[in-house]
Homo-oligomer: A and B are copies of this chain.
Amino acid sequence: MTDGRPTGRVEGVHHVAFAHDAASPVLDAFREVLGLEVAHVEPGAGFVERMLPTGDGCHVQLLEACGPGVVDKFVERRGSALHHVALAVTGLDDLLAELQDRGVRLVDETPRPGGMGTRVAFIHPSVFGGLLVELVEQPGAP
């Protein structure tokens, strides 16, 4: 902490997530219109997650609803739409402890396993006025 603010431990954008249904053209569009390719696929609870690297360490994440769950609920309520932004951080455990001490509302008070060997935690969207922010720590990060 310096002057009441956390020492900056955000290192970049890890991914931007778009939630969609199975009929969406979004995956084909990223491949055919912009030449992005899927580098990683991972099943979740009621969804399939696809990661498309953008070449700079960031990714577009496509969350396809395929059963009951949070993605399905989101798509039902909002239609296919951007779902969250994930920021790459270092020192995730310390950062979460600090945020908890400061009374920042968290979805995950301790990190949980994310895709591609990462550790992740979500901040409650009320903190950012409706924006869901995920914190992602890369495998092997300090």
Contact = CB atoms under 8 A, between A and B. Distances in A.
Interface of A: 4-13, 16, 18, 20, 24-26, 29-36, 54-58, 60, 78-85, 87-88, 99, 102, 104, 123, 127-131, 133
Given A6-B35, A31-B5, A32-B5, A131 B18 contact: yes
Given A25-B129, A85-B82, A128-B26, A56 B16 contact: no
- Copies assembled: 2
B80 A129 contact: yes
Contacts of A58: 12-13, 56, 58
A55 B85 CA distance: 15
A35 B8 contact: yes
Closest 7 CB pairs of A and B: A12-B56, A82-B82, A8-B35, A24-B129, A13-B58, A80-B130, A26-B129
A10 B54 contact: yes
A130 to B, nearest CB: 4
